């Protein structure tokens, strides 16, 4: 007599309504039960099936035999002096990503990661210096969001979500699109921003989504030679190809594309660059965020931000060309939570 191994339990985090219906099919197949379970996971962010209090105890017990609720584990939480939180989250395979929570005026911004590393290799980014990792699944990305909200007590507060953490979102379109579907049940696309280094095929696919998030593009250069030096993995698509894709990107009324420009001393911070940038962006509804480089002596040796006078002169030159421009002074630098500082490797060898 042989004993069959029972099938693995379904993780309800990231599960579709169809998957939940299949699990409930011979327990309680009524459609409203599917919606109850789905909403407990996506809207009420429960940590376990036993927390689904409007399901009977026998139903919860039967469901728990076939399904579970598993999020990434928050293994480290660092507090910045400005209120920024950096979280390290571990997955079942031992891989770790970092996410950031930033208090802003009137809301909180949550910065999510989509990969355990990054293959784009931007020279000003610690994640890129550490090299590529694996894609996160949509369930893992959504689980990251759930774990952050539960561990920080942010559930119910006004939130903006930005995909500006570890990894290139448009190199993980499968995971990103599924995460956007799950998040879209509770967060308006107008409060979600996807940032890309300029992966042109991914931009075209993102443009075709029926519900599109806000778009931010990390440009960082005004010539192809600069971009190839600063962003080798993204520079395979020329500036001309990238700008064509941005001109074709559909924007609802009142929306603009955010252009991110990391200022690296001696690389892309000359006033000549500031004078070229408006010409490149002519005809696009954009706002420009200037981001002074966040240095890291271990992984970004020799790279520094320009001094404040040079940064202000760059911004003033753009403003004189009637560009909407702000300087984004990063939060959480002292805990390695600022733009370009996420590592996510602290437990890589622990399991």
Contact criterion met (CB below 8 Å) for 80 and 86: yes
Contact criterion met (CB below 8 Å) for 334 and 81: yes
- 115: DSSP letter: B
Packing angle of the helix pair 173-183, 138-152 (nearest 10 deg): 50
Contact criterion met (CB below 8 Å) for 139 and 90: no
Contact criterion met (CB below 8 Å) for 111 and 175: no
At residue 228's C-alpha, the angle toward residues 276 and 170, to 5°, is: 100
Q: Name the residue among 166, 232, 171 with its Cα closest to residue 200.
A: 171
Of 4, 76, 98, 334, which one is the catalytic site residue? Answer: 98
* Residue 125 a catalytic site member: no
Contact criterion met (CB below 8 Å) for 162 and 111: yes
Of 111, 118, 125, 339, which one is the catalytic site residue? Answer: 339
Alpha-carbon gap, residue 169 to 348, rounded angstroms? 21
* Residue 98 a catalytic site member: yes
Contact criterion met (CB below 8 Å) for 344 and 88: yes
How far lies 8's CA from each of 11, 21, 92, 187, in Å? 9, 16, 14, 31
Question: Pairing relation of β-strands 107-111 and 159-163?
Answer: parallel
The catalytic site residues sit at 98, 339
């Amino acid at each position: 007599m042989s004993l069959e191994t029972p099938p693995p339990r379904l993780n309800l985090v990231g599960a579709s309504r169809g998957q939940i219906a299949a699990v409930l099919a011979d327990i309680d197949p009524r459609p409203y039960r599917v919606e109850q379970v789905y909403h407990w996971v996506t809207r009420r962010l429960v940590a376990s099936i036993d927390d689904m209090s409007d399901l009977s105890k026998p139903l919860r017990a039967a469901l728990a035999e076939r399904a579970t609720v598993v999020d990434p584990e928050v293994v480290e939480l660092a507090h910045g002096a400005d209120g920024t939180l950096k979280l390290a989250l571990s997955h079942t395979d031992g891989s770790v990503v970092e996410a950031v929570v930033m208090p802003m005026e009137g809301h909180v911004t949550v910065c999510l990661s989509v990969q355990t590393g990054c293959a784009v290799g931007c020279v000003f980014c610690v994640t890129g210096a550490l090299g590529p990792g694996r894609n996160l699944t949509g369930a893992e990305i959504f689980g990251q969001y759930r774990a952050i909200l539960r561990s920080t007590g942010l559930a119910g507060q006004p939130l903006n979500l930005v995909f500006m953490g570890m990894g290139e979102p448009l190199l993980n379109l499968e995971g990103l699109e599924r995460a956007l579907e799950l998040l879209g049940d509770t967060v308006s696309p107008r409060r979600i921003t996807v940032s890309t280094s300029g992966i042109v095929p991914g931009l075209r696919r993102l443009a075709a989504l029926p519900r599109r998030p806000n778009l931010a593009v990390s440009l960082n250069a005004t010539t192809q030679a600069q971009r190839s030096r600063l962003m080798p993995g993204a520079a395979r698509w020329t500036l001309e190809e990238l700008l064509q894709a941005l001109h074709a990107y559909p924007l609802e009324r009142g929306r603009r594309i955010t252009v991110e420009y990391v200022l690296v001393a001696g690389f892309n911070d000359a006033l000549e660059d500031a004078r070229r940038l408006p010409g490149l962006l002519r005809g696009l509804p954009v706002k420009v965020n200037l981001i002074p480089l966040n240095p890291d002596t271990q992984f970004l040796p020799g790279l520094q931000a320009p001094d404040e006078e040079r940064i202000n002169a760059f911004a003033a030159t753009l403003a004189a060309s009637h560009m909407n421009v702000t300087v984004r002074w990063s939060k959480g630098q002292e805990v390695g939570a600022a733009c370009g500082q996420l590592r996510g490797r602290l437990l890589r060898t622990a399991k």
